[in-house]
A and B are shown apart, each in its own frame.
Chain A
């Protein structure tokens, strides 16, 4: 009989299965569950984008594209970055179209990290950086960012964890789940720490369109001297409500992107062709759709933040992404305990902060990709729950 234990890669088997999988499997079997757990927009992909995908199919555009992605799409991405960040990336060799931002992150880590190399990862943050680092043989080095610093990475925290083995710093801002953003001066301070070192920055900017209160997103690559040491990852999922199309990109110095492209070329070949045609339409003609969705998110964000604070869960203003990250410390429960009890008592599903790193303890993540009525109902039920456990 085959011994799978001897077949499987230990690095893979040792990756922790998500602690809350079980929890959501339970939620899926319950009736009348009202969820604030989904991390994707509720808007359908704007019609003109869908239409562009359909038309490309009708015309029979169903072959592979260049490994790098369609030239036209890379040109549009280049224009977009110029428009948004005032940075210039050459469509020919500094931009790679990927299968969502996720693939770009994975390929970038694999292109840079050899066994034993260290990757600095701020947490709480999106869950993929640690396992992807481990799969590349790298060593994740965690910075537990603090609520009192608005969940930003500070220069001191960064300085404290840099070693001779540090190769990569991941900056996941605007941040899922905390809603934190990094302002220009925050990024400048980090640059001063790494400017004389051989450390690359992987900036995951998938939520770059989602910043609130008149602030627009600043990329680390915008800081003078940083462009040559930054790979920007972005995509269409959040801004254009295109999660299922799996479209993203990486842009950065040619020396890095060309190596990332090798991995992409052998693992993936090219991003889905239909999605690439749809993405061209998104970048060319859909600023108004993005603006409309942004406005809706902003209204929902205000409703949610006020709602949490009104029922007694301290919730700082999230400045980006589409999540609120209220503290549940006042209940004396752990995050997982809170979420599980809330689910059973009130059929409301939220995500424990610990899903995003140990430093998420004492917080829950609530997505506001839902209608105002839905959010109000969920908050009402959470309020009742808090009363009952007093």
Chain B
């Protein structure tokens, strides 16, 4: 049942325990308990609204920064990853397979902010050997949700 609850909440964090219980044909108290456990055990890390910031003129800019890193003996990439993710400008950090090592999503007020942050903070970390910065120009889809041309309910009023 926990897996089913996670799938539902991943889709819509606003589902109430009562809704979830009805949808799964389960007991509400049991659903509540499960959610509590999922939160406690760190499966659920938070509930955030999915916002289309592009609607907000000048809200922020973001960039994908590809970092190439020399891993430390015994520590691998953990040490540098921890350094990188400590910055409030950093939205996400992933270790990648392929041509580079860390994929870092950085956001800032302006283009210059982001550029400065990459040059001054990320590029100067000891084990980072190179950076490549790609600015996001437009967000089309985020967390499974289409931000542009979403499917409208255009079903005709056939009355049958």
Contacts of B19 in A (CB 8 A): 303, 372, 376
Contact with B along A298-332 (1 / 0, CB 8 A): 01101100100000000000000000000000000
Q: How far is the CA of A18 from the CA of B15 in the complex (A)?
A: 38
Q: How far is the CA of A302 from the CA of B158 in the complex (A)?
A: 25
Q: Does A21 contact B (CB under 8 A)?
A: yes
Contacts of A27 in B (CB 8 A): 157
Contact with A along B66-98 (1 / 0, CB 8 A): 000000000000000000000000000000000
Q: Does B24 contact A (CB under 8 A)?
A: yes
Contact status A306-B158, CB under 8 Å? no
Contact with B along A108-124 (1 / 0, CB 8 A): 00000000000000000
B155 closest partner in A (C-beta)? A38
Contact with B along A38-68 (1 / 0, CB 8 A): 1110101000000000000000000000000
Among B22-41, those with CB < 8 Å from A are: 22-25
Q: Does A351 contact B (CB under 8 A)?
A: yes
Among B112-159, those with CB < 8 Å from A are: 151, 153, 155, 157-159
Contact status A40-B15, CB under 8 Å? no
Instruction: State which of A18, A42, A302 has its C-beta within 8 Å of the C-beta of B22.
Output: A302
Contact status B157-A351, CB under 8 Å? no
Q: Does B160 contact A (CB under 8 A)?
A: yes
Q: How far is the CA of A303 from the CA of B22 in the complex (A)?
A: 6
Q: Does A95 contact B (CB under 8 A)?
A: no
Contact status B157-A40, CB under 8 Å? no
Instruction: State which of A38, A355, A372 has its C-beta within 8 Å of the C-beta of B15.
Output: A372
Contacts of A24 in B (CB 8 A): 157, 159
What is the interface residue range for chain B against chain A? 10 to 19
A127-B160 contact in complex given A303-B23, A306-B22, C-beta closer than 8 Å: yes
Contact status A18-B159, CB under 8 Å? yes
A33 closest partner in B (C-beta)? B157
Contact with B along A4-45 (1 / 0, CB 8 A): 000000000000001011001001100000010111101010
Contacts of A373 in B (CB 8 A): 12, 14
Q: How far is the CA of A37 from the CA of B159 in the complex (A)?
A: 7
Q: Does A385 contact B (CB under 8 A)?
A: no
Instruction: State which of A38, A126, A355, A372 has its C-beta within 8 Å of the C-beta of B157.
Output: A38
Most buried by B among A38, A40, A44: A38
Contacts of A299 in B (CB 8 A): 22-24
Contact status B23-A20, CB under 8 Å? no
Among A106-164, those with CB < 8 Å from B are: 126-128
B8 closest partner in A (C-beta)? A299
CB-defined A-B contacts under 8 Å, sample of 18? A21-B159, A35-B157, A39-B158, A40-B158, A42-B153, A126-B160, A127-B160, A128-B160, A299-B22, A300-B23, A302-B25, A303-B19, A303-B23, A306-B22, A351-B159, A372-B23, A373-B14, A376-B19
Q: Kindly list the 10 A-B residue pairs having the minimum CB-CB distance in the complex, ordered from nearest.
A: A299-B23, A38-B155, A24-B157, A306-B22, A302-B22, A127-B160, A303-B22, A24-B159, A20-B159, A302-B23
